[in-house]
Amino acid sequence: MLIVHVHVRVKPECVEAFEQATRENARNSVREPGIARFDVVRQADDPTRFVLVEVYRNADAPAKHKESAKQDYTLAKKKLEELKEKKKK
């Protein structure tokens, strides 16, 4: 089993859209055989921060997930990237 935590900060004006798109992506992802769980957690004291908890059944599952759902994954990733706040240097 492989567990991946993705920490995301979203633009304040995009929080609802990000959460909706991410939850839809999570619902679709858990239908894949290599994915055991995909949780979306929103931070209580800062609603612009999320943690995505992706639980894969084995080490090969993340690559298979990206490959098997390449079109959906790419579209979702592009949409979600537009909503995320850019890291400050």
* Domain CATH for 76: 3.30.70.100
- The whole model's pTM is what? 0.77
- CA 11 from centre of chain: 16
Domain encompassing residue 51 = 2-83
Average pLDDT, the chain: 86
Does 89 fall in a domain?
no
Specify the pLDDT at position 74.
Answer: 63
In this predicted structure, the answer to whether residue 47 has a pLDDT above a threshold of 90 is yes
| Overall domain count for the chain | 1
More confident residue, 79 or 24: 24
Does 88 fall in a domain?
no
Separation between Cα atoms, residue 89 and residue 79, nearest integer Å: 23
Amino acid at 31: R
Does 73 fall in a domain?
yes
